[in-house]
């Protein structure tokens, strides 16, 4: 790591878990599997706590790159959001 790189291993593990969840969420809502051959070839998952910081950093960036590359190669449908489909909860304000 370079001097000044203050990202701790626990933070990289957390980011790795989040990136993995982003992949799973995208695949669940689109029913489209993201090919992750490079990520898989690293032989590391967010659950490999014993791996070092560099291994998780490499995995995080590789997985992120594969997700973004896949999304950029797709034409995604527009999301039709309506306040009727997800109403906001009513909040009472006290004077």
Instruction: Report pLDDT for 84.
Output: 61
User: Model confidence over 36-91: pLDDT tens digits?
Assistant: 999 999 999 888 888 888 999 999 999 999 999 998 887 766 666 665 655 555 55
Instruction: Report pLDDT for 4.
Output: 47
The DSSP symbol for 51 reads S
In this prediction the pTM is 0.69
Q: In angstroms, what CA-CA distances link 55 with 13, 40, 67?
A: 10, 12, 18
From the number of C-beta atoms within 10 Å of its C-beta (0-12, 13-18, 19+), residue 58 rates as middle
User: If phi over 0 gives left and psi between -120 and 50 gives alpha, with beta otherwise, what is residue 4?
Assistant: left
**Domains annotated on the chain, with CATH:** 9-72 (1.20.1270.110)
> For residue 49, what are the contacts with CB-CB under 8 A and spacing of at least 6?
13
Residue linked to tokens 């809502």: 29
């Amino acid at each position: 790591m370079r001097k000044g790189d203050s990202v701790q291993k626990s933070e990289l593990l957390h980011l790795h878990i989040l990136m993995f969840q982003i992949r799973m969420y995208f695949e669940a809502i689109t029913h489209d599997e993201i090919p992750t051959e490079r990520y898989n070839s690293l032989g590391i998952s967010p659950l490999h706590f014993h791996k070092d910081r560099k291994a998780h950093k490499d995995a995080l960036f590789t997985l992120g790159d594969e997700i973004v590359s896949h999304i950029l190669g797709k034409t995604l449908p527009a999301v039709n959001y309506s306040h009727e489909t997800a109403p906001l909860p009513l909040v009472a304000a006290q004077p």
